[in-house]
Amino acid sequence: MAPPSGPVRAAATDGAAGARIRLARREAGLTQQGLSAEVKVSRQTIIAMETGDYAPSVYLAIKIAQALGVTVEALWGDT
């Protein structure tokens, strides 16, 4: 089987993961715009993750978790 040709994606962002991202963002005192500036993506990307319409690359998932002061597992892990 050939390796993926595009960026490696984190586990799909579903409604539960999106809700955890939103909660962690709010607890960190960040707006969607503030988080997007922190991790250097568009606000629309943050919205898409929070609504479960976008799964970030592993690199972006790590940046988001660091910006929110939580682990990647806390946001995208099975709970």
Q: Taking the domain 15-73, which CATH number applies?
A: 1.10.260.40
pLDDT for position 13:
61
In the predicted structure, residue 68 carries a pLDDT above the cut 60? yes
pLDDT digits (tens, 9 = 90+) for 5-62: 555 454 456 789 999 999 999 999 999 999 999 999 999 999 999 999 999 999 999 9
Which 3-state string (H, E, C) describes the chain?
A: CCCCCCCCECCCCCHHHHHHHHHHHHHCCCCHHHHHHHHCCCHHHHHHHHCCCCCCEHHHHHHHHHHHCCCHHHHHCCC
pLDDT for position 73:
94
In the predicted structure, residue 1 carries a pLDDT above the cut 80? no
pLDDT for position 78:
77
Domain boundaries defined on the chain: 15-73
